[in-house]
Amino acid sequence: MDAPGDEQSLSESGVEEETPPGVTPRQARRIRIVLASVLMAAMALVLVVRLASRTSVLVVGVYGAALVLCGIVIELSRNGRTRLGTWLLGIGLAAALAADWLLLP
């Protein structure tokens, strides 16, 4: 039987197939966790800057939702749902920035 680090693995039919070179699932999870953590810190910084310029419940709502979204992506990545987390992070942060641009004066 092949070792876990080998480039070949057995498919469900028992035929050996080559796994594509690139990142392992563990590395992908760690990358997503670090990326979501950095974006969470950036959203917190933007929230502080925006609150300094204008105090609004809408500002807190938009950037608070973005912070919660980053936390959800971190948990999804820890549980192995990296693709779902990536899509959610991209779409959610784009929606938060669009809401900032459209809703906040």
Task: Classify strands 8-10 and 16-18 as parallel, antiparallel or unpaired.
Answer: antiparallel
Within 13 A of 45's CA, how many CA atoms are on the CB side? 6
Residue 37 in any domain: the answer is: yes
pTM of the model: 0.69
Residue 15 lies in a domain: no
Q: How many domains does the chain have?
A: 1
Backbone angles phi, psi at 16, to 5 degrees: -75, 135
Distance of CA 15 to the CA centre of its chain: 34
Domain that holds residue 86: 23-103
Tens-level pLDDT at each residue, the chain (105 residues): 445 554 444 545 555 545 457 888 888 888 888 988 998 999 899 889 988 887 788 888 888 899 999 999 899 888 888 888 889 989 998 998 898 888 876
Q: Is residue 10 part of a domain?
A: no
Say if CB 16 and CB 8 are below 8 A apart.
yes
- Does a structural domain hold residue 11? no
Q: Is 17 helix (H, G, I), strand (E, B) or coil?
A: strand
